[in-house]
A and B are shown apart, each in its own frame.
Chain A
Amino acid sequence: MENKIVEKSSPLSSGNIAVQVDDLTVAYNYKPVLWDIDLEIPEGVLMAIVGPNGAGKSTLIKAILGILKPIAGSVSIYGKPYDEQRKLVAYVPQKGSVDWDFPTTALDVVMMGTYGSLGWIKRPGQKEKKAALEALEKVGMLPFKGRQISQLSGGQQQRIFLARALVQDASIYFMDEPFQGVDATTEVAIINILKDLRKAGKTVIVVHHDLQTVPEYFDWVTFLNVKKIATGPVKDIFNDDNLTKTYGINYKVSIQE
Chain B
Amino acid sequence: MRRKGKIPAFTETMDLKEYIELVFNDYTLRTITLGTAILGAVTGMLGSFAVLRKQSLLGDAISHAALPGIAIAFLITGSKDSNTLLVGALISGLIGTFWIRGIIAKTHLKSDTALGLILSLFFGFGMLLLTFIQKQPNANQAGLDKYLFGQAATLVESDVWLMAIITGLCLFVLLFFWKEFKLFLFDTDYAKTLGFNTNFIDILITSFIVLAIVLGLQTVGVVLMSAMLLAPAAAARQWTNSLSKMVVLAAVFGAFSGVLGTAISASQNNLSTGPVIVIIASVFVIFSFIFSPSRGLLFRQIRFIANRRDLELQKTLAFMYHIAETHEDISHPHTIKILNNFQGYTRKTLQKLVDKNYVTLDGTMWSLTEKGFETAANLYNQQAIKDE
Contacts and interface: CB of A to CB of B under 8 A. Distances in A.
A121 B176 contact: yes
A249 interface: no
Interface string A104-122: 1100010010011011111
A103 B241 contact: yes
A62 B243 contact: no
Nearest to B176: A121
A67 interface: yes
For chain B, the bracket of interface size reads 20 to 34
A200 interface: no
B64 interface: no
B194 A115 contact: yes
A7 interface: no
A102 B195 contact: no
A66 B199 CA distance: 13
Interface residues of A, number: 32
A235 to B, nearest CB: 32
A93 B188 CA distance: 11
Contact of A93 (B178, B183, B189, B241): B189
Given A66-B192, A67-B192, A120-B196, A98 B243 contact: no
A251 B191 CA distance: 39
A118 B193 contact: no
Contact of A97 (B180, B187, B193, B245): B187
Contacts of A116: 193-196
Contacts of A254: none
A105 B179 contact: no
A196 B192 CA distance: 27
A125 B130 CA distance: 54
A105 B187 contact: no
A218 interface: no
A47 B379 CA distance: 45
B338 to A, nearest CB: 39
A175 to B, nearest CB: 12
Contacts of A150: 241
B51 to A, nearest CB: 10
Which DSSP category, helix, strand, loop or mixed, fits chain B's interface? helix
Interface string A65-104: 1110000000000000001001001110100011100111
Contacts, number: 79
B246 interface: yes
Query: Could you say which of B108, B185, B237 has the most chain A C-beta atoms within 10 Å of its C-beta?
Result: B185
Contacts of A29: 108
A62 B193 CA distance: 9
Nearest to A176: B189
Interface centre among A66, A67, A90, A148 (most CB of B within 10 A): A67
Contact of B180 (A102, A103, A109, A120): A120
Contact of A121 (B179, B190, B191, B245): B179
A181 B54 CA distance: 24
Contacts of B241: 103-105, 148, 150
B193 A91 contact: yes
B322 interface: no
The residue among B108, B189, B240, B245 with the most chain A CB atoms within 10 A of its own CB is B189
B342 interface: no
B364 interface: no
B52 interface: yes
Interface in B161-214: 176-180, 182-183, 185-187, 189-196
A44 B222 CA distance: 59
A124 interface: yes
B190 A103 contact: no
A102 B190 contact: no
A31 interface: no
A4 interface: no
Nearest to A148: B241
Contacts of A86: 193-195
A66 B193 contact: yes
Interface string A210-225: 0000000000000000
Nearest to A122: B179
A199 to B, nearest CB: 24
A93 B187 contact: yes
A62 B195 CA distance: 14
Contacts of B343: none
Given A97-B187, A103-B241, A124 B179 contact: yes
A124 B245 CA distance: 18
6 contacts: A65-B193, A86-B195, A90-B193, A93-B189, A98-B186, A99-B52
Interface of B: 52, 54, 108, 176-180, 182-183, 185-187, 189-196, 237, 240-243, 245-246
Given A91-B193, A103-B241, 18 more contacts: A98-B186, A99-B52, A99-B186, A102-B185, A103-B240, A103-B245, A104-B182, A104-B242, A105-B241, A112-B182, A112-B186, A112-B190, A115-B183, A116-B196, A120-B177, A121-B179, A122-B179, A123-B179
